[in-house]
């Protein structure tokens, strides 16, 4: 299937895949995202990620951490369960049937392979939205790849390449650490995204369901050899 140059975003060339609506890009950039994981952030800064990366306590944390309904100036602390005492970390993709304070409402970065759209990229027509599926592969490590889902929004003008901890592992990373980037996979990487592929509702889905759908969509455009 023919690739057509679509546009360049922050130095990354984006190509449409024939007339399918799918698009593909390659990047060597990688950033690690722990958001959505119930163990991502802790008041004592003992979570998977550093509180500073959530904008806490100085500002910006409301876009990452759930606000305490009873104390709007503070993040909500999980009152019970296996991750009692941790903050609740959000993702843009959510289960609309659950309350804001339920960690299960969000997409767990430690168990679900997902990618992050920079704000400016998400705002562009045709790039897709939360719940759309994709396939990702490492061009450096043989057989390292995975289906994934678009689940979170990053800084407005960030480069493409921010991924969940689970996707980082699938792309060849080892014990990826979002605090300092240690253990991240080494690129370059290739992604093929399928806009308008989100489910109804967009979330909640199993990893196997994401894999099945994304693999079928990749097969429809001829598989990796066409890209």
Per-residue pLDDT of the chain (227 residues; tens, 9 = 90+): 799 999 999 999 999 999 999 999 999 999 999 999 999 999 999 999 999 999 999 878 999 999 999 999 999 999 999 999 999 999 999 999 999 999 999 999 999 999 999 999 999 999 999 999 999 999 987 878 999 999 999 999 999 999 999 999 999 999 999 999 999 999 999 999 999 999 999 999 999 999 999 999 999 999 999 88
Distant-in-sequence, close-in-space partners of 99: CB < 8 Å, separation ≥ 6: 105
pLDDT at 24: 98
Cα first-last separation, the chain = 8
pLDDT at 193: 98
pLDDT at 142: 80
Cα 82 to Cα 28, 39, 85, 103, distances in angstroms: 36, 9, 9, 11
What residues does each domain of the chain span? 3-33+108-226
SS3 content of the chain, % helix, strand, coil (to 5): 15, 30, 55
């Amino acid at each position: 299937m023919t690739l057509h140059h679509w546009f360049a975003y922050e130095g990354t060339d984006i190509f449409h895949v024939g007339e399918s609506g799918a698009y593909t890009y390659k990047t060597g950039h990688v950033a690690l995202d722990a958001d959505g994981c119930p163990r991502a952030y802790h008041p004592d800064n003992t979570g998977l990620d550093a509180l500073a990366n959530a904008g806490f306590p100085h500002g910006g944390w409301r876009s990452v951490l759930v606000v305490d309904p009873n104390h709007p100036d503070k993040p909500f602390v999980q009152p019970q369960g296996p991750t009692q005492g941790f903050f609740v970390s959000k993702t843009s993709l959510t289960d609309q049937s659950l309350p804001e304070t339920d960690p299960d409402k969000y997409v767990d970065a430690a168990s679900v392979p997902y990618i992050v759209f920079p704000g400016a990229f998400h705002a562009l027509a045709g790039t897709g939205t939360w719940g759309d599926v994709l396939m990702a592969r490492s061009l450096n490590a043989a057989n390292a790849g995975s289906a994934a889902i678009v689940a979170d929004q990053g800084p407005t003008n960030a480069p493409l390449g921010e991924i969940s901890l689970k996707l980082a592992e699938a792309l060849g990373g080892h014990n990826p650490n979002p605090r300092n980037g240690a253990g991240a996979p080494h690129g370059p990487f290739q992604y093929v995204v399928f806009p308008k592929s989100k489910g109804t509702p967009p979330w909640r889905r199993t990893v196997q369901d994401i894999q099945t759908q994304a693999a079928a969509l990749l097969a429809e455009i001829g598989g990796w050899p066409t890209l």
